[in-house]
Structure 1
Amino acid sequence: MNKTFKIYAVVFIIILIVMGIFEMNKKPVLDWRKNFDTEKKTPFGLYIFDQESTVLFNKKLEKVRVSPYSYYQKNHQKKPHNILIIQKNIDEVSWQNMMSQVSEGSDVMWFTTEVPRKIRDTLGFRFKSVSFDENYYLQLTDKKLADKRLFIDKLPDNQGFSFIKKDIEILGKTLHKTKNNETSVQADFVKINFGKGHFYIHSEPLVLTNYYILNSKNRYMESVFSYLPDRETVWFIETDTPLSMSPMRFILSNPPLRYAWYLLLAGLAIFVFFNAKRKQRIVPVTEPLKNTSLDFIKSIGNLYLQEGDFHEMMAKKAQYFLNKIRMDLLIDTQNLDESFINKLHLKTGKKIELIKEAVELVKKGQDPYASVMKEDLIRMNKLLDDILK
């Protein structure tokens, strides 16, 4: 073992010891990230909801860890049921399967802050972000449930419905006091009829997290789910994401161990880098072959300009333009007639007057007896370049 390696090893061990001392004296930091994970006991995890969900749905709950598409491929003749989705990204094919189920009488309870545009347009609503300066309340519109209010005071998503169709029923709203002590109201929970079934969409998924369930004193969550019929409920927890079976799962799931692992890898990388750099032989610099095609083209162009052969340059440009039209736009260039002009107009979207002028200049360049001026070449070059953009 050489002296350099010993120095690196000692420095690395000292760093680990210092980090260990700091980690031992470090106060645990609460994780406020919005993970919506059924296994997380952090404030914005779904651990408590997951534990209570079976009782909440009268033991008629099925927890599914595949995508709706995979599930309904195996259960395509399923009877009308309830569907629960909490802040999950659903692919388009799965949405088609779920909407087919809803049209046959199923109901979807969806807690989300992001809705694909195609789904918004189909169901007839829009989302918007509302900036509230202070905390606010969530309240149901049903008079029997008016006292079931939830106080939102930690990291709200501030999402609401900015536009809804006339036949959409508002089931819940956000109440917020403005600076003028007036109450601002924003819809946050709606019911949408779709075929024989319904979509229930709530724009504040935080109501199901550990923090708000523990702090709720008036059973707001139970009141929201009371709109669903008492029947089987399918909860899509995951979307075909396999559970990690990696040996590093435990280390990577704990921040202190994860940072220590990354530090170890970084130290090894630095060690290998510096040692390889010192022992590596000098690699001679090899100049890459120079591409002289562009220089050749410039030389030919200058030659034509010096000779003043504008007619030949127009002919070359016309030949290049027509070949480009044949290859890229698949238009026959044998006859430069009105049919050709109309086809070129439709495929390029350029003004038909410019295309007609360009075609006349192309014909002029092809005519060996035509009188050509420098201005004709400049004008033709500009028109053809504009058309090919």
Structure 2
Amino acid sequence: MRIRKNNIFYIILGLLTFALILYLEYNKKEELNWFPSYVAQHKIPYGTKVLNDIFEKKFSTTEAVTVPPFEFLNSNDNIEESTYIFINNSVSFSKAELETLLDWTTKGNTLFIASSNFEKELLDTLHLKTKSLFGDEGLEHQFQHRLVNPQLNSKIKYTFNKSYSTMYFSQLDTLNTIVIGEVSNASGNATDFETHPNVIQQKFGEGNIILTTFPIAFTNYFILKNKNSTYTAGLLSYLNNEKPIYIDAYYKSGKKFYSSPMYIFLNTKELKWAYYMILIGAFVYVLFEGKRKQRAVPIVKPLQNQTLAFTRTIAEMYYEKGDRKSIAHHKIAFFLDYIRSHFYLNTSEINEDFFQNLAARTHHETHEIKDLFLIFSSLKHKQHITDVELIKLNTAIENFKAKAHGK
């Protein structure tokens, strides 16, 4: 009786502990999602909901493009004097797609790409190279960004300290490139830092190409922090707001829509914990009720493999009948099938290449393979085969197999 009371005490203690854990987990402050999605509908730090609102309010004609640029430009041949914007952690075009974009740019359009990485073909075309700028060792680090144009408050420096590295253009085509923005490593206590170009503009045909290696400048976190919106506004001032602006929604790290129905449960705190409680309840039910009511599982003996017995019976029938020639032909046919299935060689043509390939795969010399197939050839042309010849054939095949498998 005392043992039973102790069990009840431990069960109650375990349930209270479990309830306390659930309470603490439920009331725990939800962590921010720092995934770099760059999706216009996302309100997370690295989404672009704020930028999308700016486009809708400040620019007259904007349109989100949800298809690949190749498909979009080919289906809209009349797009001219407009801007095509790409913002993502990494933007990489196919060769045909890049050629289509560059051809479209030469007609007087503007191609604007904000990405940490660019494909080599685009950089080679514009005679550019990129390189990483790393923060100093330690946890405290920050990068300072500024706009070069004096009309855009070039003396103001905008800091960002959520990354340990940033990209910049290490090589420029100085005759055709205009530097718009620069970045410097502001870690440490020094006041003078070496600046590196990270936003550039190039004339390309009748149009322009603007590249920036700092796509985070267009995210919710950067725009809303301190006065960083002035920096983003300065970059957007290079766009013609009187002409159509097409914003890419295809090359994005995150998803605009979540196809999985579980996203609704797992993204809502109350539904998520209700789902977890159902799973835990089901597990407890199976653990206790299943053990009590589970029936004994009958033992079902597996079917025996009768292949060997069947083969032995057929062989004895051939042998008793004295048809040794058929036995020899079957053994040769089975051996050729063995070569096809184990060494993956075609046995329809027996030639010098076949002998060399088979020898290389079976640890044999080429002349040994030829001697074996010479036995096959001699038996095929004989009208009658003796027991001695049949035994010799079987011995040769078994020896081949043993050596082929390293025995």
C-alpha separation between the residues in 1 aligned to 2:205 and 2:352?
54
How many residues matched?
Answer: 339
* 1:347-366 to 2 correspondences below 5 Å: 359-366=366-373
* Residues 1:219 and 2:230 are matched in the alignment: yes
CA offset at residue 235 of structure 1? 0.8
* 1:1-389 to 2 correspondences below 5 Å: 19=22, 23=26, 31-56=33-58, 58-68=59-69, 71-72=72-73, 74-87=75-88, 96-97=96-97, 99-105=99-105, 106-113=109-116, 119-124=119-124, 130-133=133-136, 134-140=141-147, 146-147=154-155, 149-153=157-161, 155-156=162-163, 158-161=165-168, 169=177, 171=179, 172-177=181-186, 181=190, 183-191=193-201, 199-214=209-224, 215-216=226-227, 219-230=230-241, 231-237=243-249, 243=257, 252-254=266-268, 256-274=269-287, 275-286=289-300, 288=302, 319=336, 323=340, 334=349, 336-337=351-352, 359-368=366-375, 381=404
C-alpha separation between the residues in 2 aligned to 1:337 and 1:21?
76
C-alpha separation between the residues in 1 aligned to 2:53 and 2:237?
18
Cα distance, 1:335–1:85 mapped onto 2, change above 3 Å: same
> Is contact 2:89–2:215 with CA below 8 Å preserved after alignment?
no
Cα distance, 1:76–1:377 mapped onto 2, change above 3 Å: same
C-alpha separation between the residues in 1 aligned to 2:257 and 2:111?
26
C-alpha separation between the residues in 2 aligned to 1:363 and 1:203?
67
Cα distance, 1:265–1:83 mapped onto 2, change above 3 Å: farther
Q: Which amino acid aligns with 1:137?
A: Q
Cα distance, 1:28–1:281 mapped onto 2, change above 3 Å: closer
Q: Secondary structure at the match of 1:334?
A: coil
CA deviations 1:290-323 (Å, max 9, x no partner) are 77989xxxxxxxxxxxxxxxxxxxx999956974
CA offset at residue 152 of structure 1? 0.8
Q: Secondary structure at the match of 1:183?
A: coil
Cα distance, 1:363–1:209 mapped onto 2, change above 3 Å: same
CA deviations 1:351-381 (Å, max 9, x no partner) are xx999x9655533432349xx99xx969984
C-alpha separation between the residues in 1 aligned to 2:370 and 2:197?
66
Q: Which amino acid aligns with 2:110?
A: D
CA offset at residue 137 of structure 1? 0.9
CA deviations 1:246-282 (Å, max 9, x no partner) are 988765443x224323323323432442333432212
C-alpha separation between the residues in 2 aligned to 1:322 and 1:276?
52
CA deviations 1:87-120 (Å, max 9, x no partner) are 2777967x844641331224332223355xxx33
Q: Which amino acid aligns with 1:47?
A: K
Q: Which amino acid aligns with 1:149?
A: K
Cα distance, 1:293–1:246 mapped onto 2, change above 3 Å: closer
Aligned to 1:312: none
> Is contact 1:112–1:203 with CA below 8 Å preserved after alignment?
yes
> Is contact 1:318–1:365 with CA below 8 Å preserved after alignment?
no
> Is contact 1:123–1:192 with CA below 8 Å preserved after alignment?
no
Q: Secondary structure at the match of 1:201?
A: strand
CA offset at residue 228 of structure 1? 3.7
CA offset at residue 41 of structure 1? 4.0
C-alpha separation between the residues in 2 aligned to 1:59 and 1:129?
37
C-alpha separation between the residues in 1 aligned to 2:16 and 2:114?
48
C-alpha separation between the residues in 1 aligned to 2:276 and 2:80?
54
> Is contact 2:144–2:158 with CA below 8 Å preserved after alignment?
yes
C-alpha separation between the residues in 2 aligned to 1:321 and 1:192?
67
Q: Which amino acid aligns with 1:110?
A: I
RMSD of equivalent CA atoms? 5.5
Q: Which amino acid aligns with 1:269?
A: A
User: Scaled by the length of structure 1, what TM-score is found?
Assistant: 0.61
> Is contact 1:157–1:204 with CA below 8 Å preserved after alignment?
no
Mark the runs of 5 or more structure 1 residues left unpaired by the alignment. 1-7, 295-314, 345-352, 384-389
Q: Secondary structure at the match of 1:85?
A: strand
CA offset at residue 149 of structure 1? 3.4
C-alpha separation between the residues in 2 aligned to 1:194 and 1:287?
77
Percent of aligned pairs with the same amino acid = 17
Mark the runs of 5 or more structure 2 residues left unpaired by the alignment. 1-10, 309-331, 379-394
> Is contact 1:138–1:151 with CA below 8 Å preserved after alignment?
yes
CA offset at residue 77 of structure 1? 3.9
Cα distance, 1:163–1:264 mapped onto 2, change above 3 Å: same
Q: Which deviates more from structure 2 when the two are superposed, residues 144-153 or residues 43-52?
A: 144-153
C-alpha separation between the residues in 1 aligned to 2:367 and 2:150?
77
CA offset at residue 151 of structure 1? 1.0
